[in-house]
């Protein structure tokens, strides 16, 4: 860790692929591992899983309410149940099942929101999940996680399978470079990972937006001599308040970044904590504004709204000017 | 348990339901009285579950989808020893765990319910787990006829048939009234039997306020190998109290002092017959 920022792009896989291969490995040694799908085995990269462990996949068809209800019933018997569906449907169509059957009844289902955020790009708003953090944060007894890279995804799936609590994990389907090769930079739910350290500002990002944040930090250092801390805040709930508190003292400004509406997500979660803890420095939430997104690929949409190396660099420069 | 004893228990349960609804000044009177014979027969005759075996992975499961009729469930759970009946004096009181819907904070309750259309999907998942593990336990869920329009029920009806869950038994408490009127007028779901049959379920009709008929229906499970079971239990909302029977205003009406006295008098007279 330090000012030297290295991004490893070799062998980058989609977090989705890491999820499916990790789940398959876990299933090999544990017959209680189950995937429950809503015609989503293809989009969830679970076809090899289904072929290898046909008794460990429960297909319910395109029916997200029963997907989550059935998963909760299975989990109540001790099955390590992963309910896999596109995040846009999982966090909306089955919202009441998540609230009641999973969280309230404390059935430890792992809800896997695939192709999250604007992964589906030009397919449009029906297929975007820009509401899931906001909606699910208000539900008690649900851990919300957006892993940034392949390492975080593998760790999140492995560790969640061992924790007898409800989880919502979401990720996309584009290849994600490794954020760091520092083996001591471990993954633990509820603890943000500091990927780079700098005194001028902190960029707190979650999920696949950590990567452009790290790229921006590199550019800020190289072209503007601005030193940025970059945090992968993979666990959106419970939020790492200790890290936020120390960052609020250490840096001159804070930017949050998420592939989500600017309403109700990581940014507002950080803002409310910081405001209640006397943080009175420049602060900016970067996400998707309250509008139906511009048409485009995922990359085009994210670039359009400044969730990119250049966009975040520009936001940081604007914010620093306010110092 | 012999039928006379079951009939006696139903009568006692009805009196207790009214007692605790009056104590709480809240509750779902009509539906608790319509469904009590079903819950009575399940816990005293059918279910392989007791306070001692409640943690066993092999126990039978009962999930009450029509969670609002929690008073009926609670008086039976207390009677079979899950908790002291005196606990029910705190029903719906400040800081009580005994809220107006089933919650797993109370021993004996399998799932937190209350929102309608949730019991059947949960029961389907639980029954699939039994099949996967080659276990013999059975899963029962009680639905109200008024909750049938919830789409999740029909998703679960498909899934239950797809997985050939003959270890699953859904019971519909068909008392034909819901909060805003006769169920047939609010959203007609009849004929329920042929709908479920066309989904691949084996269906039986039964008088849901007749313990003997209920005993016989449960004893004949599974109705058909490889098919989930549905018992359409024809019941009377407010059953057992003359002025409550088939009266919409007793959906969640709470008896006043005089009404309560009259209801207990009627039930006591019926018990002494």
pLDDT tens, position by position, A160-197:
999 999 999 999 999 999 999 999 999 999 999 999 99
Residue of A nearest to B111 (CA): A105
Nearest to B237 by CA among B146, B140, B118, B102: B146
Rounded Cα gap, residues B210 and A217, in angstroms: 74
With H, G, I as helix, E, B as strand and everything else as coil, classify residue A299.
helix
Largest interatomic CA distance in chain A: 59
Direct distance between the N- and C-terminal alpha carbons of chain B, in angstroms, rounded to an integer: 20
The answer to whether residue B106 neighbours chain A at the CB level (below 8 Å) is: no
Q: Is the pLDDT of residue A307 over 50?
A: yes
**pLDDT of A322 over the 80 cut:** no
C-alpha distances (whole Å) from A44 to each of A17, A37, A47, A113, A130 are 8, 8, 8, 9, 19
Give pLDDT tens digits for B240-267. Answer: 999 999 999 999 999 999 999 999 999 9
pLDDT of residue A11: 79
Number of A to B CB contacts under 8 A, please give it.
96
Q: How far is CA A134 from CA A1, A220, A263, A287, in A?
A: 32, 30, 7, 12
Measured CA distances, A155 to A21, A102, A145, A152, B229 (Å): 12, 22, 11, 5, 42
CB–CB of B104 and A105 under 8 A?
Answer: yes
| pLDDT (0 to 100) of residue B273 | 84
**CB contact burial A291-308 (16+ within 10 A = b; e otherwise):** eebeeeebeebbbbbbbb
Closest to A16 (Cα-Cα) out of A86, A96, A98: A86
Q: Is A74 touching B (CB cutoff 8 A)?
A: yes
HEC string for B30-67: HHHHHHHHHHHHHHHHHCCCCCCCCCCCCCCEEEECCH
Whether omega for the bond prior to residue A225 falls within 30 degrees of 0, making it cis, is no
Region A102-116 average pLDDT: 98
Rounded Cα gap, residues A232 and A218, in angstroms: 15
pLDDT at res. B136: 97
Q: Which of B115, B129, B158 sits opposite A96 (nearest CB)?
A: B115
A1 touches chain B (CB under 8 A): no
A78 Cα to chain B: minimum distance (Å): 9
Give contacts of A79 with chain B, Cβ < 8 Å. Answer: 129, 132
Name residue A33's beta-bridge partners.
A80
A263 has a chain B CB within 8 A of its CB? no
ipTM of the complex: 0.95
Q: Do A70 and B124 touch (CB under 8 A)?
A: yes
Contact B112 A100 (CB under 8 A): yes
pLDDT tens-digit series, residues B168-187: 999 999 999 999 999 999 99
Asked if omega into B216 is within 30° of 0 (cis), the reply is: no
Closest to A209 in 3D by CA, of A296, A282, A119, A314:
A119
Name every residue whose Cβ is closer than 8 Å to that of residue B101 and which is 6 or more positions away in sequence: B67, B68, B70, B112, B113, B114
Q: In A205-308, where does DSSP find H-type helix?
A: 210-224, 241-250, 266-276, 298-304
- Who among A55, A65, A107 is closest to B132 (CB)? A55
Which of B105, B112, B115, B122 is the best substitution to test chain A (most A C-beta atoms within 10 A)? B122
Q: Are residues B34 and B13 in contact, defined by beta-carbon separation less than 8 angstroms?
A: no
Rounded distance between C-alpha atoms, residue B145 and residue B128, angstroms: 24
Question: Span B138-160, mean pLDDT?
Answer: 98
CA distance A37 to A34: 10
pLDDT band of residue B112 (cuts 50, 70, 90) is: very high
**Residue A24 in this model has a pLDDT that exceeds 60:** yes
pLDDT band for A6, please (50, 70, 90 cuts). Answer: low
Rounded Cα distance between B204 and B206, Å, is 6
Among chain B residues, the shortest Cα distance to A83 is held by B125
Nearest to B128 among A70, A106, A107 (CB): A70
Instruction: Find tokens 């970044």 and name the residue.
Output: A257
Distance of residue B153 Cα from the nearest chain A Cα, in angstroms:
8
Q: Is A79 on the interface with B (CB under 8 A)?
A: yes
- Asked if the Cβ–Cβ distance from B156 to A66 is below 8 Å, we say yes
Query: B121 and A55: CB-CB below 8 Å?
Result: no
DSSP 8-state class, residue A80: E
**Which residues on chain B are in Cβ contact (under 8 Å) with A78?**
57, 129
User: Is B124 in contact with A73 (Cβ distance < 8 A)?
Assistant: yes
The CATH number of the domain holding residue B67 is: 3.40.50.970
Integer-rounded Cα Rg, in Å, for chain B is: 17
Give the gap in angstroms from C-alpha A224 to the nearest C-alpha of chain B: 56
Phi/psi for A84 (5° steps) reads: -115, 120
Quick one: B257 exposed, middle or buried, by C-beta within 10 A (0-12, 13-18, 19+)?
exposed
Please name the member of B110, B118, B129 whose beta carbon is closest to the beta carbon of A69. B118
- Taking an 8 Å cut-off on Cβ atoms, the answer to whether A97 and B112 are in contact is no
Q: What is the DSSP letter of A55?
A: G
Q: Which residue has the tokens 């169920």?
A: B183
Strand duo A254-261 + A283-288: pairing: parallel
Buried b (16+ CB within 10 A) or exposed e, B35-62: bbbbbbbbbbebbebeeeeeeeeebbbb
The stretch B133-156 carries a mean pLDDT of 98
**Alpha helix ranges (H) inside B115-256:** 119-132, 151-162, 183-186, 192-199, 211-219
pLDDT tens for each residue of B54-92: 999 999 999 999 999 999 999 999 999 999 999 999 999
Whether A2 has a pLDDT exceeding 50, the answer reads no
What CA–CA distance (Å, rounded) separates B26 from B92?
A: 8
Residue A103 has pLDDT above 90, yes or no: yes
A140 vs B: CB within 8 A: no
Which residue ranges form the domains of chain A, and what is each CATH number?
10-176 (3.40.50.970), 181-321 (3.40.50.920)
Which residues, listed in sequence order, are joined to residue A67 by a DSSP beta bridge? Answer: none
Whether A30 contacts chain B with CB within 8 A: no
- B1 — pLDDT class (breaks 50, 70, 90): confident
Tell me the HSE value of A56 on the side-chain side, using a 13 A CA sphere: 24
* Chain B residue with minimum CA distance to A94: B152
Percentage of residues in chain A with pLDDT exceeding 90?
96
Tell me the shortest Cα–Cα distance from B188 to chain A, in angstroms: 22
User: Hey, what's the torsion of the CAs at B93, B96, B101, B106, to 10 degrees?
Assistant: -150
Interface mutation target, options A33, A57, A77, A139, chain B, most CBs of B under 10 Å: A77
Q: How far is B132 from chain A (nearest CA, A)?
A: 7
Residue range(s) defining the domain that contains residue B64: 3-272
Query: CB distance A77–B126 less than 8 Å?
Result: yes
Query: Is residue A243 pLDDT above 50, yes or no?
Result: yes
Q: What pLDDT, in 10s, does the model give residues B24-58?
A: 999 999 999 999 999 999 999 999 999 999 999 99
Count how many domains chain B has: 1
Q: How far is B128 from chain A (nearest CA, A)?
A: 7
Q: For chain A, give the mean pLDDT.
A: 96
Orientation angle between helical segments B119-132 and B151-162, nearest 10 degrees: 20
Residue B64 buriedness (CB in 10 A; 0-12 / 13-18 / 19+) = buried
Q: Give chain A positions within 8 Å (CB) of B137.
A: none
Q: Are A150 and A15 in contact (CB under 8 A)?
A: yes
Is the pLDDT assigned to residue B12 strictly greater than 90? yes
Q: Do B115 and A100 touch (CB under 8 A)?
A: yes
Query: B-chain residues within 8 Å CB-CB of A70?
Result: 121-122, 124-125, 128, 156, 159
Given a contact cutoff of 8 angstroms between Cβ atoms, the answer to whether A53 and A37 are in contact is no
Q: What are phi and psi of B181, to 5 degrees?
A: 150, -175
CB A116 within 8 A of CB A132: yes
Q: What is the pLDDT of residue A126?
A: 97
Say whether residue B130 is in contact with chain A using an 8 A CB cutoff: yes
The sign of the torsion formed by the CA atoms of B103, B109, B113, B116 equals negative
Q: Is A27 on the interface with B (CB under 8 A)?
A: no
The CA distance from A256 to A59, in Å, is 38
């Amino acid at each position: 860790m330090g000012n030297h920022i290295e991004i490893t792009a070799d062998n980058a896989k989609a977090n989705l692929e890491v999820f499916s291969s990790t789940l398959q490995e876990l299933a090999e040694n544990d017959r209680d591992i189950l995937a429950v799908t809503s015609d989503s085995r293809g989009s969830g990269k679970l076809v090899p899983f289904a072929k290898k462990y046909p008794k460990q996949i429960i297909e319910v068809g395109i029916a997200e309410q029963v997907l989550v209800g059935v998963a909760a019933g299975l989990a109540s018997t001790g099955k390590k149940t992963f309910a896999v569906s596109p995040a846009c449907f999982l966090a909306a169509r089955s919202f009441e099942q998540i609230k009641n059957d999973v969280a309230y009844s404390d059935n430890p289902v792992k809800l896997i929101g695939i192709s999250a955020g604007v992964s589906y790009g030009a397919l449009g708003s029906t297929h975007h999940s820009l509401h899931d953090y906001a909606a699910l944060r208000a539900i008690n007894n649900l851990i919300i996680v957006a892993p940034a890279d392949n390492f975080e995804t593998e760790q999140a799936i492995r560790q969640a399978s061992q924790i007898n609590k409800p989880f919502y994990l979401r990720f996309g389907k584009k290849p994600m470079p490794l954020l760091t090769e520092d083996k001591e930079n471990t993954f633990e739910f509820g603890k943000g990972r500091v990927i780079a350290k700098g005194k001028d500002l902190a960029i707190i990002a979650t999920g696949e937006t950590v990567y452009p944040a790290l790229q921006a930090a590199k550019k800020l250092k190289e072209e503007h001599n601005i030193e940025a801390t970059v945090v992968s805040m993979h666990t959106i709930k419970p939020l790492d308040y200790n890290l936020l508190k120390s960052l609020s003292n250490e840096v001159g400004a804070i930017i949050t970044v998420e592939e989500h509406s600017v309403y109700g997500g990581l940014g507002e979660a950080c803002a409310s904590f910081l405001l209640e803890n006397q943080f009175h420095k420049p602060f900016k939430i970067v996400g998707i504004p309250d509008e139906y997104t511009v048409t485009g690929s995922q990359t085009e949409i994210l670039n359009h709204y400044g969730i990119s190396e250049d966009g975040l660099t520009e936001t940081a420069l604007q914010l620093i000017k306010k110092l | 348990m012999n039928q006379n004893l079951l009939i006696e228990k139903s009568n006692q349960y009805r009196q207790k339901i009214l007692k605790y609804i009056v104590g709480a000044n809240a509750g779902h009177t009509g539906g608790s009285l319509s469904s009590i014979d079903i819950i009575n027969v399940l816990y005293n005759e059918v279910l392989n579950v007791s306070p001692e075996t409640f943690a066993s992975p092999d126990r039978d499961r009962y999930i009450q989808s029509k969670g609002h009729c929690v008073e009926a469930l609670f008086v039976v759970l207390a009677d079979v020893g899950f908790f002291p009946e005196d606990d029910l004096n705190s029903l719906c009181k400040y800081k009580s765990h005994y809220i107006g819907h089933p919650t797993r904070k109370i021993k004996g309750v399998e799932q937190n319910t209350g929102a309608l259309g949730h019991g059947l999907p949960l029961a389907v998942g639980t029954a699939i787990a039994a099949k996967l593990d080659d276990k013999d336990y059975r899963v029962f869920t009680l639905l109200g006829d008024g909750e049938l329009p919830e789409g999740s029920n029909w998703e679960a009806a498909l899934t239950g048939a797809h997985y050939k869950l003959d270890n699953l038994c859904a019971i519909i408490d068909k008392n034909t009234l819901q909060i805003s009127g006769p169920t047939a007028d609010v959203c007609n779901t009849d004929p329920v039997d042929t709908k479920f049959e066309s989904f691949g379920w084996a269906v039986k009709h039964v008088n849901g306020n007749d313990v003997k008929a209920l005993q016989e229906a449960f004893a004949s499970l599974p109705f058909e190998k490889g098919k989930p079971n549905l018992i359409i239990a024809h019941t009377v909302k407010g059953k057992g109290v003359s002025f409550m029977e088939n009266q919409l205003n007793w959906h969640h009406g709470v008896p006043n002092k005089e009404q309560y006295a009259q209801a207990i008098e009627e039930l006591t007279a019926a018990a002494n017959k």
